[in-house]
Amino acid sequence: EAQVTQNPRYLITVTGKKLTVTCSQNMNHEYMSWYRQDPGLGLRQIYYSMNVEVTDKGDVPEGYKVSRKEKRNFPLILESPSPNQTSLYFCASSLTSGRAYEQYFGPGTRLTVT
């Protein structure tokens, strides 16, 4: 089954404790992206990657890091989480040609930073 998986689905952590949210897709998509969703602010893009070893900032990259060492994986790293990073996070993937507009989203990771 074609899908995007994220882990963990729920995470409660404390300020300053480094964490990683994993994202993996099995569709051989070149493009992967991270979004965060907050009430009243909608979905905002954090980082994206057009292919392996190619990443770039989205609209709200501060406080986040990403890496793309393999085509299928795109982890999101919070080196020193703060309470303002409490949010619902979504990973997405798509092709970079053809139906590039059709992005597939993961189930989301609800992060709480206390």
Q: How far apart are CA 28 and CA 2, in angstroms?
A: 10
The site for other proteins (CB under 8 A) is made up of 4, 31, 33, 35, 42-45, 48, 50, 56, 58, 88, 90, 92, 94, 96-108, 110
Closer residue to other proteins in complex, CB, 80/96: 96
Closer residue to other proteins in complex, CB, 34/81: 34
The whole-angstrom distance between residue 99's C-alpha and the CA centroid of its chain comes to: 20
Q: Residue 104 in contact with residue 94, Cβ under 8 Å? A: yes
Closer residue to other proteins in complex, CB, 37/73: 37
Q: How far apart are CA 59 and CA 7, in angstroms?
A: 23
Q: Cβ 54 to other proteins, closest distance in Å?
A: 10
Q: Cβ 16 to other proteins, closest distance in Å?
A: 27
Q: Residue 6 in contact with residue 109, Cβ under 8 Å? A: yes
